[in-house]
Amino acid sequence: MVETESKALQAKEKAEVTTPAEQTKPGLVFSPAVDIFETDQNITLLADMPGVKAEDLTIDLREDVLTLSGEVDAPEGPDEVDVFREYRTGKYYRQFSLSEVIDQERIEAELKDGVLKLKLPKVEKAKPRKITVRSS
């Protein structure tokens, strides 16, 4: 199934953010566009992070805060001079707080063509127990 294809894509500048922690490396920080959806079993996150190599991407889940951060190397060669520039490059950073308990052992992450797909399996909820009250 493919989404309706009639509409044309609009040019958009990347959303620049200021991170809570101060950067040690100078440079711009952008917030990647994401899709997040959940089913009964999983929470899936898709994030557009063009220019990030798999080894430069860090995914961190601590308590219930998920942090995505990806470093981007400048793609230009040393001798290249700008003719014109419409977009800027820099690292990506975004945090989410998750309401569900995630099974940390079974998290799957895949980075393909600049899109991160992160599958966060939910921990099976404790089955409801019936508590019998003993009468003495």
Q: Under the rule (CB under 8 A), what is the footprint of other proteins?
A: 1-3, 5, 7-13, 33-40, 44, 46, 48-53, 75-77, 79-88, 111-115
Q: Which residues contact 33 (CB under 8 A, 6 or more apart)?
A: 15, 47, 48
Question: At its nearest, how many Å lie between other proteins and the CB of residue 81?
Answer: 6
Nearer to other proteins, 13 or 21 (CB): 13
Smallest gap from Cβ 84 to other proteins, in A, equals 5
Nearer to other proteins, 20 or 77 (CB): 77
Question: Pairing mode, if any, of strands 42-48 and 115-121?
Answer: antiparallel
Task: Give the closest residue to 70 by CA, choosing from 23, 32, 113.
Answer: 32
Shortest CB 98 distance to other proteins, Å: 10
**Is residue 31 within 8 Å of 96, Cβ to Cβ?**
no
